Structure formats: structure tokens, C-alpha cells
Structure 1
């Protein structure tokens, strides 16, 4: 990672690296702060191979702390207060030697010994290699969360080739691979990271307006909520040049609405997994959900309709689960895809499929039809157990304006029958009575 520190040191020292709470933090300040924190951590007993939890959200000092720990060849476990993983459960998998807790404003921190011993041959072998490590966790939506060990320096190496700098908001959280990937991509190209107080739509829009943000990397769920409001008209978002979206399937209806709201903005679908990294991508320019993915260090392959990836930036392995890689290093993404030349269309996770009497239903396909109907603010489609059919399709809907449930059910059924085969039509239509998004702004289908 020395190349990255050298790039920061060689940059114009007055160049903005962060804008945090309205205050600029320059690359000159960042370079000095990383060196200062590295010395302080070493003096306070943090050594190579130690596992260190960093509880924080985005802030200049947080990023400097993570790079300082990497300089010391520690194993970094980033966590957030809004994490979908309980800290105790995470540490029972990763182990821990020290805990660094940042204040919510990211301006002060405490370091304390926090010993959680874990016996793990993979961790022992990795420590012996003398490399910096990064440990992240899956959301655990299908069971116990999986701990993923990455060679942190290999993760950084993806950004050696310097690209054009941008002003961007790191929307995806710090404990998410996409969040780490975003902040490394911005800073490795000497761009500017604009932090936000929270991920509320109005807060993000205000940050874009106030700091002339050019790039917004986000999720389809956030864009669905944005499209259901008038905030794009109430704030000046004209600085935006590109919106990227990933981590879940994008409804075509949402994409169409966002294209209409932001006609001059490039909309780019991204694709990546914590296990293999984030691939370079190019959306087809026809406004569809077809995307070309790959890039240097990545290979793709489709087996029986499922996407497999081989990556130079893959994780070392799962800490608490069998390897997800085959003997040749290919990873099963569990994503079913359609193929058109060198473009893919992501249909959805195999684990999200609804099995109606042996027939497979992709929730995103049904959601797309419903979202296109009038007065629909949002929808989540799930499977519900059924004695005869195995599962039935259930649509839970949020409305812009109140509407009698009987009327809603009738028109949703008619709309779905006009577009979908009968077994895909929701057997139940319910009003949303709870949050449907995780802290990572992804739909929760379980």
C-alpha cells in the first residue's frame, strides 16, 4: 500500500480529500495524519497481526485510522452503529485484540484492549504472511453471517491506475465491501469524499447541492424512494454527472423514472460481491438493465444460467464457512442471468426465488410490474409458505395516497395478469406495515 501513501504525499497538499461537516480536509493533512496515527497506534501497543475493530462511519480521521492500521499490517474489522451484524456475533468469528470507537461526529476516538480469542487456522496462516487484512461480514439474511478475510493490500491494488478525480458521496456503508471500494476509488484518484450526516434522501440531496457532488454511488432501493418524492426538483442536483447503482436487482420502472428525472446524468449499473470485489461495468446505452461486466483481473462464465466469477481480487476465504470457490478459483455468485452477446441481465439471487408449485418466480420481475402502476410508492415481493403449492407470491405495497385495499388488490391483480403468467401474480396484496430496507439500503425479503 506504500504506493497509495506516496500518491497522497505527492499530491497538491491543498487539494480537498474530504469535506466533513462542511470543513475541508486536504491531502496534505491526510498524509500527515496517517503518519501521526501510525506512530501513535504503534506506541500504544498495536502490532502486526493484531485484529482491530473500528466502530465508525465516514470521516477523514476514520479513513486515516484504517490506513494507519493497514500500514502496521493489522487486520481491520470496520463496523458501524447501524450494522446489520451484532458486534458480539461478528467478533466471535473474527476475534479481536483492540477496539477503536469513534464518536458519532468522527472527530474523536478511544482505543482499548478488547480481547476476544478465536482459534482459526486461516487467520493464523494469514498473520504469518505479514500482510494487512480486512475482515467484512455478510448481512446474514439467509442464516448466520459469514466472515470474509481479504488481503487488504490486494484490495487496494485494484486502484493503482489513477483515474479522473471526482467529487462523490460514499453512500454504501463502511462495513460493506462496496463502501470500502468506493472510498478507495475516490481517494486513489485524488478526488473528494463528501460525507453526509445520515442516508436520508433529503440529507443526500442537500449534500449534492451544497458541495457540487458529481458521483452518487447508491442502491436501487434508494433510487426507488428518491423517484417517489419531489426532492429532485426541490434541490439543485445539476452537478451530478453519474449515478451508479448495485447490490440488488434494479426494477426497470425505477430506472425509467430516474432517467426521466436526470436526463443529463449517466446511469451506470455496477456489479460486485464481497467475495470477489467490484467489477468494472458498462450499462447498455438503450436504458435497459443489460450490463457488460469484467475488466482487468476479472473473468466471467455462465453455468446453467448462473454467473460465476474468477477474480485476482478475491477474498482469502470465509472464516466460518466452506470455500465458495471451485478447484479452478471460480466463485458461484448465486445470481441467475440472461446473456446477450457480452452483456448480462441480472434476474436475481437463486436464494430469493419463490417456488410456486414447482414454478420459479423472481421477485424483481413482479415488483417491476407493480412499481409501474399509479399511486405505488414502493413494493416488496416475498414468498409465503403454502400447504399445497409450497409457496405463494405476496406483494407488500406502500402508497402515495390512501386507497381502499379491495380496490388496490383488484387493480394490481389486473395489471399483473396483463404482463405476467398466472402463477407469478400475487395471491396476496398487503399494505406495508414495517420497514423493508436494511441499514445497507437493500430490500429485506425475509
Structure 2
């Protein structure tokens, strides 16, 4: 088994060439990577990608190279496009972006969190397509240089985390002429849902093409592949022919023996005018075991004291007492290292 340690997305091009030559390869970070395991014994070419590690140590997930390659689009309309993304090259999302650029005879640019440099790079290279988490692009908008930047991509692909409708609206206003694609995917199962909506909902029909069957058990999505049920670990909501991914099932706090959904607290907080982003987290407490702490970012130009007062009033009116945040922290929101939501 061969391990490659790419630094930038463009470094994956040589990996793809070797895969086409019949070598199975794992892409891993230079430090704090997963335990290296051999690919499945089946006589195929495999690409190992590194999971996010959001629930512990990162793991190596082996994917068939022919499926990743087959998922790229080589239409004349996208050939030669310039792509850009902040995804790490050893992740499934990073591999997908780089594979698409490679299949299109294009270049791919790695983006960071030096926002001035990111805007400069996007405009300088006239980037045609961007693939990122909603949080990353929302932060990019927040840090757009005064006077604006004369750049708008043809294509924006969002994934890696649930899309909140307020974020989707902001992105649509800033990039009115861009085509949007929102993806729900897992390293273990591949792309499961895809839509052009930016309100956080997916057409269930797309899931039927990606799985043999699906079901929702105790609010969690389960997928059937090859006669076996797989738990995604994500909480979903279904309304008619639409499905919304809310977040992880394990995002709960145990307050004096009562289970509190941190997702519910987060969603209510993000619906309060003046709140740019929010994240409810559990903190240890000697009396109740845990309490809910709400970390939030205020919209530019809003008064922080007024927003906090509105937040406290709204959440205490709409949540049961155990779910009331006992700690309120106004912070700057930053993109998570593993493409999950985070407030820092």
C-alpha cells in the first residue's frame, strides 16, 4: 500500500495519474493522520481518503477509483475552467474537487483563511468554479474588501455541513448569476443528495439514485447499500418530497438527566435578527452535569447588546428551561479544520 502526503489540491494530479496506471494509493496528512490500512482485497484500484476526525481520530476510508473518476464531468462547457477550494487534499471533498479539475484539463487553487489573499487569488486567476463549505464562503463575504471585488464564479458547489437558509440567501444575493449546487456526501458512502436549492432542502428523489433504500430512525438517516443498512449519524427532517440535513445526531447536552438538542438551540439562535452564525455546545457543570453554552457572531453593523437581549428573550420563550443557555459568548466565527461547523 502506497501513501501520498499532498500539501495542495494540485498535488493530487500526480496521484490520479498513478491511480490510472493501476496503483492503489492512500492520501493522508503529513501529521496526525489515520492508521494506515490495506485496501480491500477486491481486484480493483482503490483510493484511500482521510475522514474528518470529528468523532475521534481520523480514519482511512477506501473508495473505488473508477467511481470517483466516473463522478466527474467532462462536458465541453467546463473544460479548461479554473477551480478553487479550501478543502484539504487528503479529504473526500478535496479529492472530488481536484478530480473534477483534473478531468477537465483545468487547474485547481487551494484557498486559505487569509481573506485578502483569497479574494485576490480568486480575482487574479478568474476562478470559474468554487467548492467550499457554506461557512467558508459566508466568512469570505464578510471579509470582502471595501468597494467590492469584480469577480463572480460560474459555479458554486456547497457541501461539508448543513446549509442554513440565511447563509444561502446571502450567497445568492452576492452571486446572483452563479449556478449553485449543494451536496450532501460522506467519505464512507459518497454523494447522497444533490440539489440546486439554496434553502437547505434537497429533493428526496436524488437520494433514491444514490442508495438501494433509505429510512429515518429516531430522526437519523440510514442508507441501504448491498443489502446492509448504514447509519449516517446525521439528523434529518422530511417534508413531502424534500429532506433537510439538520446536523449530527450526537450533538446533545445532558442537563440534569435531560437530553437537550444542541441543534435545536443553534437553529433558533440563528433565526434571531442580527445573529450571523451560532453554535450551541455542551459544557461541564458540577451541579447539573452539563449546561448549554451559546457561542454566536453578530451581523456587522448591529448592536451586540441589543442582539444578546433579543437572543435571551427569544430562546427563553421558545425553549424548555433545561435547554436555556446558561453561558453566552460573542465570538468570531471561523471555518472548522475538518469542514464541520464551528464557532471559535
One fold, TM greater than 0.5? yes
Q: 1:205 to 1:371 in 2, by over 3 A?
A: farther
- Does the 8 Å CA contact 2:216/2:222 hold for their aligned counterparts? yes
- Does the 8 Å CA contact 2:134/2:163 hold for their aligned counterparts? yes
Taking only aligned residues, the RMSD between alpha carbons, in angstroms, comes to 3.4
**Aligned partner of 1:411 among 296, 310, 319:** 310
Which residue matches 2:52?
A: 139
Quote the offset at 1:345 in angstroms: 0.7
Q: How do residues 301-340 of structure 1 correspond to structure 2 at under 5 angstroms?
A: 301-304=214-217, 305-310=219-224, 328-340=227-239
Q: TM-score, normalised by structure 1?
A: 0.65
- Does the 8 Å CA contact 2:52/2:91 hold for their aligned counterparts? no
Q: Give the match's secondary structure for 1:143.
A: coil
Which residue matches 1:277?
A: 190
String of CA shifts for 1:91-123, please: whole Å, max 9, x gaps. xx216xxxxxxxxxxxxxxxxxxxxxxxxxxx3
Q: Distance in 1 between matches of 2:158 and 2:269?
A: 20
Structure 1 residue ranges without an equivalent (≥5)? 1-49, 96-122, 312-326
Q: Give the match's secondary structure for 2:9.
A: coil
Structure 1, 255-264 or 192-201: larger mean CA deviation: 192-201
- Does the 8 Å CA contact 1:394/1:427 hold for their aligned counterparts? yes
Are 1:203 and 2:114 counterparts?
Answer: no
Residues paired across the two proteins, number: 338
Which residue matches 1:236?
A: 150
String of CA shifts for 1:262-300, please: whole Å, max 9, x gaps. 23333332110000112351144xx52111233755445
Q: Distance in 2 between matches of 1:405 and 1:66?
A: 48
- Does the 8 Å CA contact 1:54/1:76 hold for their aligned counterparts? no
Q: Distance in 1 between matches of 2:157 and 2:227?
A: 31
Which residue matches 1:177?
A: 92
Q: 1:253 to 1:438 in 2, by over 3 A?
A: same
Q: 1:383 to 1:442 in 2, by over 3 A?
A: same
Structure 2 residue ranges without an equivalent (≥5)? none
Q: Distance in 2 between matches of 1:260 and 1:424?
A: 34
Which residue matches 1:442?
A: 340
- Does the 8 Å CA contact 1:380/1:396 hold for their aligned counterparts? yes
- Does the 8 Å CA contact 2:85/2:111 hold for their aligned counterparts? no
Q: Distance in 2 between matches of 1:125 and 1:290?
A: 35
- Does the 8 Å CA contact 1:72/1:132 hold for their aligned counterparts? no
Q: TM-score, normalised by structure 2?
A: 0.82
Q: How do residues 364-443 of structure 1 correspond to structure 2 at under 5 angstroms?
A: 366=266, 369-370=269-270, 372-374=272-274, 376=275, 378-386=277-285, 389-399=288-298, 409-417=308-316, 420=319, 422-432=321-331, 437-443=335-341
Are 1:86 and 2:86 counterparts?
Answer: no
- Does the 8 Å CA contact 1:283/1:290 hold for their aligned counterparts? no
Which residue matches 2:176?
A: 263
